[in-house]
A and B are shown apart, each in its own frame.
Chain A
Amino acid sequence: MKRVKSKTPLFLTALYFSKVLTIIIKTFFKDRGTNMPGVWAIKLCPDFLSRIEIPPKIIAVTGANGKTSVSNLINDVLVANDYSVINNGKGSNMDTGIASALIEKANFLGKVKEEYAVFEVDERVSARIYNHIEPTLLLCTNLTRDSIKRNGHSEFIFEKINSAIPNNTTLILNGNDLISSSLAPKNKRVYFSVENILNKSTKNIVQDVSVCPKCQTKLTFDHIHHHHIGQSHCDSCGFKSPTPDFNCVLFKNDKITIKEKNTSNEYNIISDTIYNIYNVTGAVAALRTVGLRAEQINNGIKSTNLIADRESQFKKGDLEAITLLAKNQNPVSSSLALDYSTNLDGNKVFVLMITDTLDKKHGHEDISWLYDTDFEFLNKKNVNQIVACGSRCYDLGLRLLIAGIPKEKIILKENYNDIEKELNLNNIDKIIVAYELYGYNLAIELKNKIIGDEND
């Protein structure tokens, strides 16, 4: 799509330089340094994103939790249906990552021939992207408390997104989240919701919204999935959650049913966790809005390999090892991971590698988030042993004690060496290794030591 701003010599220089850089990186460094072309393009030409051509349809995905999964899913469904797509899934979700994705596909005149772009966007850089690229659709998965360091609080992030949304962008919003559902109220909008289809309600120790945003009266929740995510109303002033355009009303035989205006369709899901159901429902709302049919979406969902890096299962005899991402410093993501894994069948051992290995270089790691995270979920009979690792293991130990977990079940280990020697696997069905964002390799290493690496 032609842009309002012209292709100046400065822009073309930035484009040529970054194109050449892309080729060099691809040839010699494979997947490393994929962000560099965008970094240089924007350094050389600060409004690069306003000048490079973009596909006619842009779907941006943002939010506190689930944005990577949802943008990958939307991308995979479009690709599976033979649409040509530019996507920043392999790079960063900042302006530089989006620039890199465009540079890779653009020719030396700055033209792209793809029909779609699907961009995952970090909430904090909203303005740096939407000031240059107006999304056709902007999907916000949810806004909840997140890493304090990165995001401050959800009202701060709300303002960051809200002030950057272009007037003509259609919003795809989570009707079960009273924070993000009130983004840009004048914009055209489509709401998606999930009813109480799992017959499960999780009570968390923190909740970002518990009183009516209009009159401060305590909200009545008709149902609540977790934290403040659910359907609610105010008995005092009549305020209520928005009416959904895409409503997930049924979960049966590993499929969900999503009701929309004149029809209702069944969709495959990737896993039966509530967050995955939200991810699929949100993606369906976006894909249906751009005109895909339900069967096209289902074909795409079948082809996706979405969760491999976030949650993996390995088996050796009767022992199962599960590696699970629990985003460090993000109490909502971590609580969801703990809720899911502690409710699995069988006797379990947990290894917690969830404090930030990289944060140490800043002196010491902030531990506030441990007290917004529901470690109480680990206080179950069939959680037999918990090994907490890393320099913050004593902070974790104290948190576990406060959660009521008997101290005999807790093992604290300052380092990550020889963890397997600490494990008591008698009568254990599952070992769950919860790891933080940068701890995947540590988790896999431990898994390999316990049950081998044949089934990777």
Chain B
Amino acid sequence: MIKMEVLYPEYMNLYGDRGNIMYLQKIIPDLEITYTGINETPLFTKEKIDILYLGPSTEKQQEAIAEKLKPFKEQLKKLIDDNVFILATGNAIEYFGQYIEKEKGNKIECLKIFDTYAKRIYRLRHNENVVQKVKNIILVGFKNQLSHSYGKEKFAIKSEKDETINFVIKNNFFGTYFLGPILVLNPELTTKIFKDLNIKIDQKEYLEMAEKANNKRIQELDI
């Protein structure tokens, strides 16, 4: 049985993030999913899990979530060290940094696991279809950001265009500003992640269709 925990689904589900969960449900036959509500204690504090998912949220919700996560700092750090697969999409990546600086300059303290910090600049709302080669895999995705991450973290991977951070990848922690169904969009990444985890992915029907969709996209992008 593969145990997956989805954190705070009332809030952390903005942009088709459910796609990742729905897809994994189909391709990992013995996946057991626990949805942990914003007022509940996370499963990872009580038992061993294999996958933890955190999706993007609105800015107000992000503040509430940062507060909720604080007591679990050491446990989350341990999950990363223990090679648990943690997927954080969109602005969920920011909880693992030092702080989030709000528009007016005040800060939301975060878990301080990585040496990154985020800044919200609403007038620079960033909207982009992105393609980036990461660890030899071409990743495609979409970004919609009201905040950006910076910092000297050695596990961070910056955007190809500027100093902003697009990814933080350490062990099996995979944090990315790409949002929505990135596992659906990137079959090569998904295959690699689960191969490394030694988790069997199955069901040809879905995998082949994801492959076809990806091929068509890559062909259009002409890369």
Decide if A148 touches B125 in the complex (CB within 8 Å). no
Residues on A with beta carbons closer than 8 Å to the beta carbon of B13: 206
Q: Would A148 and B58 be within 8 Å (CB), given that A211-B38, A369-B16 are in contact?
A: no
| Interface membership of A67, Cβ < 8 A | no
Decide if B220 touches A217 in the complex (CB within 8 Å). no
Decide if A156 touches B58 in the complex (CB within 8 Å). yes
Residues on A with beta carbons closer than 8 Å to the beta carbon of B16: 331, 367-372
Which of A246-254, A298-306, A397-405, A435-443 is near enough to bind chain B? A397-405
Residue of A nearest to B144 (CB): A148
Residue of A nearest to B212 (CB): A394
Give the CA-CA distance A39 to B216 in the complex, in Å. 38
| Interface membership of A30, Cβ < 8 A | no
| Interface membership of A422, Cβ < 8 A | no
Decide if B64 touches A397 in the complex (CB within 8 Å). no
| Interface membership of B195, Cβ < 8 A | no
Give the CA-CA distance A391 to B15 in the complex, in Å. 21
Interface string of B7-50 (1 = CB under 8 A from A): 00011011111110011001000000000011100000000000
Q: Would A148 and B142 be within 8 Å (CB), given that A368-B180, A368-B181, A402-B23 are in contact?
A: yes
Decide if B18 touches A205 in the complex (CB within 8 Å). yes
Query: For chain B, which range describes its interface: under 10, 10 to 19, 20 to 34, or 35 or more residues?
Result: 35 or more
Among A154, A217, A368, the one with the most B-chain Cβ atoms within 10 Å of its Cβ is A368
| Interface membership of A261, Cβ < 8 A | no
Report how many residues on chain A are interfacial, defined by Cβ distance under 8 Å: 38
Interface string of B109-152 (1 = CB under 8 A from A): 00000000000001001010101000000001010101000000
Which of A53-61, A317-325, A357-365 is near enough to bind chain B? A357-365
| Interface membership of B1, Cβ < 8 A | no
| Interface membership of A348, Cβ < 8 A | no
| Interface membership of A243, Cβ < 8 A | no
Among B13, B213, B221, the one with the most A-chain Cβ atoms within 10 Å of its Cβ is B213
Decide if B19 touches A368 in the complex (CB within 8 Å). yes
Decide if A391 touches B14 in the complex (CB within 8 Å). no
Decide if A368 touches B131 in the complex (CB within 8 Å). no
Decide if A395 touches B38 in the complex (CB within 8 Å). no
Q: B129 is contacted by which of A217, A331, A364, A394 (Cβ under 8 Å)?
A: A364
Decide if A398 touches B184 in the complex (CB within 8 Å). yes
Among A154, A369, A395, the one with the most B-chain Cβ atoms within 10 Å of its Cβ is A395
| Interface membership of B153, Cβ < 8 A | no
Q: Would A368 and B15 be within 8 Å (CB), given that A149-B144, A155-B60 are in contact?
A: yes
**Cβ distance B77 to chain A, nearest Cβ, rounded Å:** 26
**Cβ distance B153 to chain A, nearest Cβ, rounded Å:** 26
Q: B216 is contacted by which of A153, A331, A362, A394 (Cβ under 8 Å)?
A: A394
Residues on B with beta carbons closer than 8 Å to the beta carbon of A331: 16
Residues on A with beta carbons closer than 8 Å to the beta carbon of B179: 368
| Interface membership of B210, Cβ < 8 A | yes
| Interface membership of A152, Cβ < 8 A | yes
Decide if B129 touches A362 in the complex (CB within 8 Å). yes
Give the CA-CA distance A371 to B16 in the complex, in Å. 5
Residues on A with beta carbons closer than 8 Å to the beta carbon of B58: 153-156
Q: B205 is contacted by which of A363, A365, A401 (Cβ under 8 Å)?
A: A401
A sample of 20 inter-chain contacts (CB < 8 A) reads: A148-B180, A153-B58, A156-B59, A156-B125, A205-B18, A216-B38, A218-B37, A218-B39, A362-B129, A363-B129, A363-B131, A363-B221, A367-B184, A368-B179, A368-B180, A369-B16, A371-B180, A391-B216, A401-B26, A401-B206
Binding site for A on B (CB under 8 A): 10-11, 13-19, 22-23, 26, 37-39, 58-61, 64, 122, 125, 127, 129, 131, 140, 142, 144, 146, 179-181, 184-185, 205-206, 209-210, 212-213, 216-217, 220-221
